[in-house]
Amino acid sequence: MPTYTYLCPECEAEWENFHPIAERHSERCMCGAKPGIVPRANVAPEFQAGWDGGLGMYVESRDQRRAEIKRQGLVEVGGESVETMEREAKKNKPKVSDYVPDRVVEEVAYRVEQGESVEHAVKHTEHAR
């Protein structure tokens, strides 16, 4: 839940409280007035220089990291390069048969052979639910 900073227009009291987004305007001041929400700037965490295993190099700034990602033809997703995530996934990649019953695999394979997309076949395979 987000934290909101409130400011009372009547008595000028200021306080913080956290609410679900849907309830952010339900707060009341002790004097009974409806307070306003004080806008605040969103600040990104400070960049820490260091070794970036995904790029295989030491980076000193966000700009340097972004330039290197672009130079290598990668895409950044959630702070990690896609190549890093793919490399890690390949190391620990389970086989479909490790967690899906054979009958489901066979049904999906049959549906794909009949011309359905893999996504559609998986979504509409009765046993996959």
So what's the pLDDT on residue 68?
Answer: 85
Residue 79's DSSP bridge partners are: none
Q: Would you state the pLDDT for residue 11?
A: 93
CA distance 4 to 23: 11
Burial label, 35 (beta-carbon count in 10 A; 0-12, 13-18, 19+): buried
Measured at the alpha carbon of residue 109, what is the angle toward residues 106 and 111, in degrees to the nearest 5?
A: 110
pLDDT value, residue 129: 46
Which pLDDT does position 84 carry in this prediction?
58
pLDDT value, residue 117: 82
Q: pLDDT digit of tens for each residue in the chain (129 aa)?
A: 778 889 999 998 998 888 888 888 888 898 989 998 887 766 566 677 888 777 788 888 888 888 888 887 776 666 555 555 566 666 665 555 555 566 777 787 788 888 888 777 777 776 544
Residue 44: what pLDDT?
A: 61
Instruction: Measure the CA–CA gap between 85 and 25, rounded to whole angstroms.
Output: 40
pLDDT score at 98: 53
Name the region of 46 (left: φ>0; alpha: ψ -120 to 50; beta: rest).
beta
